[in-house]
Amino acid sequence: MSRLPRALRWIACTSLLAVALAAITGHLLARRAMPDAIADMRRQVAADQVFGQFFRDDGIVRQRPTFTARVENPFVVVVSCWVPTGLHATILQNRYVVMPGGLRRQELPPVHLR
């Protein structure tokens, strides 16, 4: 009877260690993939010819969007792009799942700020 609790404790500790190791590995892989995810979204936005517009005293100024990336979960990176249109703006987002073989893109719906 005394071996059962020790075995259960060992299984629980080993399981927790494996989950923690997987989470740490996922975050490290996601951090390392951030520049590739930003570059992929930059290519997508350039192919769609997306430009922001600011209204200034001297007319309309076109500006390329600004990109930001964050690690949402282990193995998941979210890249956002702020596109101003006058007094309003649109946020374009893509979610990238990081696998050892590369990135898999999932497009998220745009957020319109009015």
What per-residue string of b and e applies to 74-89 under the rule 16 or more CB within 10 Å gives b?
A: ebbbbbbbebbeeeee
d(CA 93, CA 78): 7
At 102, the pLDDT band (50, 70, 90 cuts) reads confident
pTM (two decimals):
0.78
Decide: 110 and 41 in contact? Cβ < 8 Å: no
Say what percent of the chain tops pLDDT 70.
Answer: 89
At 3, the pLDDT band (50, 70, 90 cuts) reads low
Each domain of the chain, given as residue ranges in start order, spans 3-113
What is the pLDDT, as a whole number, of residue 53?
72
At 62, the pLDDT band (50, 70, 90 cuts) reads low
The dihedral built from the CA positions of residue 28, 29, 30 and 35, taken in this order, carries a sign that is positive
Contacts of 79 (CB under 8 A, 6+ apart): 34, 37, 38, 40, 41, 67, 68, 69, 93, 94, 96
